[in-house]
Structure 1
Amino acid sequence: MTEQKNEQKKSARVLLDDGNRRPWYVRTLIWGCAVALVGGGVYAWMSTRPDPNAVSYVTQVVERGPISVTVSADGTLNPMRTVTLGSELSGIVRKVNVDVNDEVKTGQTLIELDTRNLEAKVSSAKAALTSAKAQLKESEATLNEAKLRYDRLKELNRISEGRMPTRAELDQQEASVETARASVEVSRASIADAEATLDTAETDLGKAMIASPIDGVVLARSVEPGYA
């Protein structure tokens, strides 16, 4: 038993002596590797750890948009521009499409007048224009006929060496040509008048719809349906 214990002590001593007999640079290398591994792990952990004091940035595409300005104060707002609307025509208000504080856009119809009389004037002007154009065609036909008859009489007078028709008949037919030509000019003038009348009637009809000239807000309303 005593010999067995002595053998175990010798074996342990041999192992210890082997470890102690390792060269110093081997032991230093081992410890250096251990320190390098530990240091590398700490660096990797620190580099991946988020910095609580780091500044972060958020990018956004620049776009055009409205700018809101807020004023914290007591006061009264006055409009930069005020427009008072009225009608160039005399008539009865048929419809009012807006009220106070309503927002309106440029060209929006605000007030409508009764258009029955105006529409009747437009219809009458159109009829007069149609009639004037028909009269012009008739006058032109009469002129052409008078010119043809006059040309035939002149040719007959030439062939008959002045014996027929008489000079009085030639003068009379020439006068008919001039009368027909004057009638054509009158018809053309009638057409111009009818076109002007129609243009005025249509313009007045358009004025029966009173529209907003600007974008804005209705500040006051002084008319109601039925007002003249």
Structure 2
Amino acid sequence: MSEGVVTDASQQKVSGKVVSIPVTPSIGNESKAGRPGRHWLMAGIAALLVAGIASATWWMSAKRSAVHYVTAQVTRGPVTRTVAATGTVNPELTIIVGSYVSGVIQEIYCDYNTRVKKGEVCAKIDPRPYETLVAQAKANLSVGKAQLQKDQANLAYTRINHERNAQMVVTHAVSQDVADQARNAYEQAQAQIVFDQGTIQQQEAALDSAQVNLDYTNIVSPVDGTVVSRSVTMGQTVAASFQTPTLFLIASDLKMMEVDTNVSESDIGGLKEGNAASFTVDAFPQRTFNGTISQLRQSPQTVQNVVTFDVVVSVDNSSLALQPGMTAATRLIIDSRSDVIRVPSQALRYGQGGQVAGAAPQGAPQSWKQLWLLRDGKPVASPVEAGLDDDAFTEIVAGDVKPGDQVILAEQRQASAGTLPPPRL
């Protein structure tokens, strides 16, 4: 460097000497050497911002969901509204055969599944105590009849004596007192005859009662049927003092059965006598038995504050497949439609665009619902009038819907990750 020339350095060489001169920095005189480092710093920050924005844009695009609709086809078929209940299979008429008298079972002639005829003897109680009572009643009746004959003879004598004294008192052959005594004896004899006749009637009634008790020692079937239960064994003593013991249960006809079901009070209002019903039993899970509601018994049963009513379903059991006591899973039909346009009930519970699911269209009756159809890949609202609903399908009474249309049940959003390429940094 030449002498006397001032440079950017803080030192100056004068006359062969180096002199230090302080230099005050200023903005206008900022050194050009420091600017390249700052420029690269700002460029790096800008690149990072661009990369971040690109990454966020790619991530948002990757997470953006594609809407897919779950649809079902409008069909034509039956819609049946039912009430489910559990019941028990029983014969239509079950006869309880008991014992009117007490005693020891001497013989048993019927057992389970025995076919019996009306009047057939099923069991026999030891008759000897009752035979003794019959004999005693007969003897008392004989004594009463003999006493009547005796008193009838006395009545004949007193009548003759009374008539004779009545004639003699006219001629003063006897006193009036004697005539009065004869008349009194005659009237007592007449009363004695009436008393004897009443006594004989009592003795005849006692004999009839003893004979009835003797006859009841034969336990007979009152109907034609089948023995379904036997509760007594030979040699057992039955006591009929306070309550008639049950010896046999006889079903009158096992070809006609009934199912006794319990239906809650909330469902009983829709049921009527004559409505159809069906049920299954565990013994035949693949077979459906059909019947008819024959009775709606107005006798509520309350168990733990739950009120139920007994509904009786009659069913033909000509095949004898059903047995008494089977548990039946019953479907009682409230109402039914056949061959109608129907949609899944879930379709009427779908809403779109902020609309309340299942709500009626604006200005339409409550029976009208908003149904969403998928046409050309887009959801289209279609107001329809809903009819019978069986929880699975709903009848469409009116509306622009026909079999084959696709109704929207729900929508699914599937992430379209990977549809956009990641940003290049």
TM-score bracket, shorter-length normalisation: 0.5 to 0.7
- Among residues 168, 181, 184, which one is paired with 1:172 in the alignment? 181
Query: Shift of residue 153 of structure 1?
Result: 1.5
Aligned amino acid, residue 212 of structure 2? T
2:246 is equivalent to residue 218 of structure 1: no
Which SS does the other structure have where 2:94 is aligned?
coil
Task: Compute the TM-score of the two structures, normalised by the length of structure 2.
Answer: 0.34
Counterpart of 1:98 in 2: which secondary structure? coil
Please tell me whether residue 148 in structure 1 is matched to residue 160 in structure 2: yes
Partners of 1:178 and 1:78 in 2: how far apart?
A: 67
- Runs of 4+ aligned residues of structure 1 deviating over 4 Å after TM superposition are none
Report which of the two has the higher share of helix: 1
In structure 1, what is the Cα distance between the partners aligned to 2:99 and 2:178?
62
CA offsets per residue over residues 40-68 of structure 1, 9 Å max, x none? xxxxxxxxxxxxxxxxxxxxxxxxxxxxx
2:107 paired residue number: 95
Matches within 5 A, 1:59-208: 78-158=90-170, 161-162=171-172, 164-208=173-217
RMSD value, Cα: 1.6
Q: Which amino acid aligns with 1:106?
A: K
TM-score (norm 1): 0.62
Q: Deviations over 1:136-166 (max 9, x none)?
A: 11111101101101111222222xx22x211
Query: CA offsets per residue over residues 169-225 of structure 1, 9 Å max, x none?
Result: 111111111111111111101111111111111111111111112222222211112
Q: Which amino acid aligns with 1:222?
A: S
Paired with 2:209 and 2:154, the residues of 1 have a C-alpha distance of 32
Provide the residue aligned with 1:42 in structure 2. Answer: none
User: Which structure has the higher relative contact order (CA within 8 Å, separation 6+)?
Assistant: 1
Aligned-pair distance for 1:118?
Answer: 0.9
One-letter identity of the residue aligned with 1:136: L
> How far 1:77 sits from its partner (Å)?
6.9
Structure 1 CA distance for aligned equivalents of residues 222 and 185 of structure 2: 57
* One-letter amino acid of the structure 2 residue matched with residue 118 of structure 1: Y
Structure 2 CA distance for aligned equivalents of residues 214 and 156 of structure 1: 72
Matches within 5 A, 1:47-62: none
Greater strand share, structure number: 2
Aligned-partner Cα distance in 1 for 2:228–2:166:
80
User: How many matched pairs?
Assistant: 150
**Sequence identity percentage:** 33
